[in-house]
Structure formats: structure tokens, C-alpha cells
Chain A
């Protein structure tokens, strides 16, 4: 069984993202870029399924500019068998990403596609669900536990009301939540090994994907700041202050 992992490059989660003073975007020049943390969880889950003997091959795929390969090499060093890089000149939106991933799915015929539930740059939380719809296959989003057996994935999902368990027939799309697993650290020898693993480069134009980039971002602004309040000296003063505001 093959597993395809969608592996997006984003601004590293430790970077405090700033809006450019002219409002034309956010500062990404000279900023550390890494794999989307939820996608690392997706890759880790795929690797564990291979280690359990459920899967035989794990493919990491990214859609991004020509220089977006360092994180794919990291994905290979983590343990993926091979990588696919769909090279796009411009940033794409979730519908386009889903249509592109569908092309990869048609070519590779994976039984499971695992993605992060959202990318921490656009926070859209759409691509996995869209891929599942276009593929006409089940989706198990926000997964915190995955069990595979007899052509079925039993997935526990983190939902607002608690933990929901669903069963989906394979092939299926799974998106990961934070607590599905803790991704492994990369060891130095694996970085060396990753250099010889196959990385296929596909030009975005060649699979003939219809663009779904229908949204236009017209402005970027920093968030409204909450003004700093007052410090109180003890519990009694706090209660008095809250009573004055009519909150108690």
C-alpha cells in the first residue's frame, strides 16, 4: 500500500510574522521556512504505518516554487521513500492545490493520502477536504488516532464536542490534528541517505490543472491591538474591579 503525504513549506512556526509597512503582504524575506508542522505529523503517521507493515511506500509531495526542496529533503531524511515536487511560479490556493494533488493521486494510486489539517500560513483548513470531494472518497479530518485494517481506516477525530470515531473505506483522505503523534527527529546519517533518494520534479503546467485561484487578496493589515490594561495588587482589588465593570 502506498501513502501519499502532502508536505507544504511555510514560514517556520517560531517566526513572529509581521505585516509589511505598505500592507502589500507579510515579511517572508530572510525568514526561516520549514515544513508545515501538521504535515510533519502527517509524514510521521505515514512512516509509522509503513513500520507496522501496513504501508510499503511513503511519498512526500509538495507544490511550490523552484527553491522549495530543502524541506522535501528533510521529509526524505525523516524516512519517506521518495519525493515529488510540483513546481509553481506563484502561490496557489487550496482548490488548485486539491486539483493538483488529485493528479498525483491518479498517477500514484495511493490507498491513503495524509495531510495536515491546516497550513499555519493561510490557516485555510480546506485542501484535504477538497481533495476528498474531488476524488469522491471519504475524509477523516482532525485525526488524533488512526487504525488501518481490512481496507478500512478507523479514525478518532478531535471535534468540538469531544472525540468522534468514524470508519472510512480506503482509499481515503486523512488530515492530522496536533496530538496524532510526535514527529521524530532527523538523524545525521539519514540526511546523507536522503541525498540519494529520488526526487521527481513536475512542472505545474504539465498535468493541466484548472486553476481554482478565485480569491484575490487586496490588503494585509496587522491585527487590532488590545490595549494593555492595569495591574491589580491582590484578589480583593481584582474582584472589586470586575464588579465595577459589571462582570460579577
Chain B
């Protein structure tokens, strides 16, 4: 008898696909209900999107000006208050949003959290990665307390969206909200490219690209493929691209259908971020690079010669 509360992630009035991925994971519990909670200043449009996700039973909204920006210290007491309405599980995506807020909810409830669920064994048993994915553990959570968990979004496809019409209800739960945490600004990389975390194609560059200027070659190829752009930690550390493009253990964990690693040697911390990709293509001048151990297609050579050739072949 499980009842799951999924915390919706949204930005600029749009629901993030991580929410539908959490719903997919929640369905594996075979629960009696999957409800989605939307905290926002104006939640209606976001809630309407959430109500369409297959498998969602009900959508609850908490409209409050304090919820304009997702601040964990403000969201957590509201989530904890709703969780007490008989929920056995509280799920959030393992994105920076979910990682920030979920442990705060767990601590308020005095319960443990399972981070990065990659597989559901049963309602209280899960698999998750540790040591940058070098080991997969099976963890058992107690059945007599609410379980808070984050869902490794790359392990789950987004639940289909369209046929469902889950009822939407506004909640009015009085939780005392702190004023000690204030949003100042969000500097978003301006890009018309697909979002790295949900793109079906990703082209990533590494140290081998050599400079910020040279990264133009990666962006150009990505645009030709309609792909998002990613990078290895080495490329970010070297200042070629901003940190929100980093793929790997401490960056984004992604699962595109096609992943192209260009000038990336393939450290384990990077590989852990792409192990669920459908097809991995590696282009590197070092034929011994570890990236070739996991690549479905490998091409050894100078990327500055090979990428223009690749673009030509794509024409």
C-alpha cells in the first residue's frame, strides 16, 4: 500500500521533464497513488502539465509568493507538511533542485533518504550507485517510516504525457516559512540549443579541444545535429565552457540516445555520467583512451580534421 508524493521541478512556468521521470520510477513501486506537488507563485499552468503525465493520480498545488523561486529552506517545510498526509514515499529528481531540497525534507521528517535510485526492487528496496558508479548497492529502507528519495533521472524515461487528466486541487497547509533565505538572481546560459539533461543527442568536448575558441567546433557540430552541448570536467576546469555543461559524477548525469565524446579521454567520473546513453561515439587522437572501452563506435584521429569531415559526411 504505497502512496507516492512526487515533487515537481519547474522553471520559468514550465514543468521539467525530470518530474515525469520520477513518475516512471514511482510506477515501479506499484503504488496505490502517485500525487504530484507543485510549489510555485502561479502553479496552475505547471499543474496542468503535470496532470497529463500518465500514472499521476492527483496534482496538488501550493500557491505562494514565497514559492516564486525554488529555495530548499522554504520548500522543505511545505513538502514535509504535505508528506504527513499519509504518504509512504516522497520522490524528487536527482537534479540540483531535488538534491538541495530532499535531504532537508528527510531531516524534518526524521527519516533516511535514498539518493539516486536507479532501480526499484520492491517498495522499500532499491539499487543506487556509490563511488562514482564503481559499485552498485542494494539498500533496504524501513517500511514503517516515510521514505524520502531522489531518482536518478538518467535511469528512467519520462512517463508519457497526454492521455491522463488527473484532478488538480489547491492545498492550504499552514507551514511556517522562514525569511532567512532570499533569491537574488539566476544567471542562465543563453542558448537556443536543446537542454543538456533531456536532449536526445549530446555532443561533448574535452581537454583535447584545447581552448574556449576551439570549442566553437563542438557547438557547430552540435547545431548541425540538433544536439545539446556537454563537456568533461577537464574542459570546464580549463575554462573552455561554463560549469553547467559538465557531464559526470559531480556534473550532470545524462542518458541521450546519441552521445558523442570528442577529445574526451574518459575518466571514470565522466563515464558515470553517460553510462545510460543509447549509443556512445568517441573521437580521440589517443587510440588507448579509456573512452574507447565503452564507445559503441570509436574513431581515432585529429578532431580538427575529423569533425569537418564528419560535417561533410552529414550533408
Q: Chain A residues in contact with chain B, CB under 8 A?
A: 11, 16-19, 26, 93-95, 98, 117-118, 120-134, 136-139, 141-142, 144, 154, 157-169, 172, 177-179, 212-224, 226, 228-236, 238-239, 241-242, 245, 247-248
Task: A109 to B153: give the CA distance in the assembly, Å.
Answer: 38
CB neighbours (8 Å) of A248 from chain B are 225, 314
CB neighbours (8 Å) of B313 from chain A are 235-236, 238-239
CB neighbours (8 Å) of A232 from chain B are 297-299
Partner of A142, one of B100, B135, B237, B279: B100
Can you name 22 A-B residue pairings with CB atoms under 8 Å?
A18-B134, A123-B116, A125-B103, A125-B115, A129-B72, A130-B107, A138-B73, A139-B104, A141-B99, A141-B100, A159-B97, A164-B187, A167-B184, A168-B182, A178-B233, A178-B243, A215-B139, A218-B140, A229-B297, A230-B298, A238-B281, A247-B201
In the complex, besides A168-B182, A177-B250, 13 extra interface pairs with C-beta distance below 8 angstroms are: A17-B131, A125-B99, A132-B73, A133-B76, A133-B105, A154-B184, A164-B185, A164-B186, A178-B237, A220-B136, A235-B313, A236-B313, A242-B297
Partner of A235, one of B106, B138, B299: B299
Given A126-B113, A141-B72, A144-B243, decide whether A234 and B299 contact each other with a Cβ distance below 8 A.
yes
Which of A19, A160, A178, A218 has the most B CB atoms < 10 Å from its CB? A160
Are B187's CB and A162's CB within 8 A? yes
CB neighbours (8 Å) of B113 from chain A are 94-95, 124, 126
Given A125-B103, A163-B187, A165-B184, decide whether A215 and B110 contact each other with a Cβ distance below 8 A.
no
Q: Which residue of B lies closest to A124 (CB)?
A: B115
Given A120-B131, A126-B115, A229-B295, decide whether A166 and B71 contact each other with a Cβ distance below 8 A.
yes
CB neighbours (8 Å) of A19 from chain B are 134-135
Partner of A223, one of B11, B243, B275, B309: B275
Q: How many A-B residue pairs have CB under 8 A?
A: 257
Task: A192 to B296: give the CA distance in the assembly, Å.
Answer: 52
Number of interface residues of B (CB under 8 A): 87
Task: A60 to B182: give the CA distance in the assembly, Å.
Answer: 28
Task: A39 to B181: give the CA distance in the assembly, Å.
Answer: 23
**Counting CB contacts under 8 A, is B33 at the interface?**
no
Q: Which residue of B lies closest to A27 (CB)?
A: B135
Are A160's CB and B96's CB within 8 A? yes
Are A139's CB and B183's CB within 8 A? no
Nearest 5 CB-CB pairings of A with B? A129-B103, A229-B296, A133-B107, A235-B309, A130-B107
CB neighbours (8 Å) of A169 from chain B are 180-181
B91-140 interface (Cβ within 8 A of A): 95-97, 99-108, 110-116, 125, 129-140
Task: A168 to B74: give the CA distance in the assembly, Å.
Answer: 12
Are A235's CB and B280's CB within 8 A? no
Partner of A221, one of B136, B186, B249: B136
Q: Which residue of A lies closest to B188 (CB)?
A: A162
B137-153 interface (Cβ within 8 A of A): 137-142, 145
Which of A11, A128, A161, A221 has the most B CB atoms < 10 Å from its CB? A161
**Counting CB contacts under 8 A, is B312 at the interface?**
yes
Task: A159 to B249: give the CA distance in the assembly, Å.
Answer: 14
Are A160's CB and B197's CB within 8 A? yes
Task: A61 to B27: give the CA distance in the assembly, Å.
Answer: 41
Are B130's CB and A122's CB within 8 A? yes
CB neighbours (8 Å) of A11 from chain B are 131
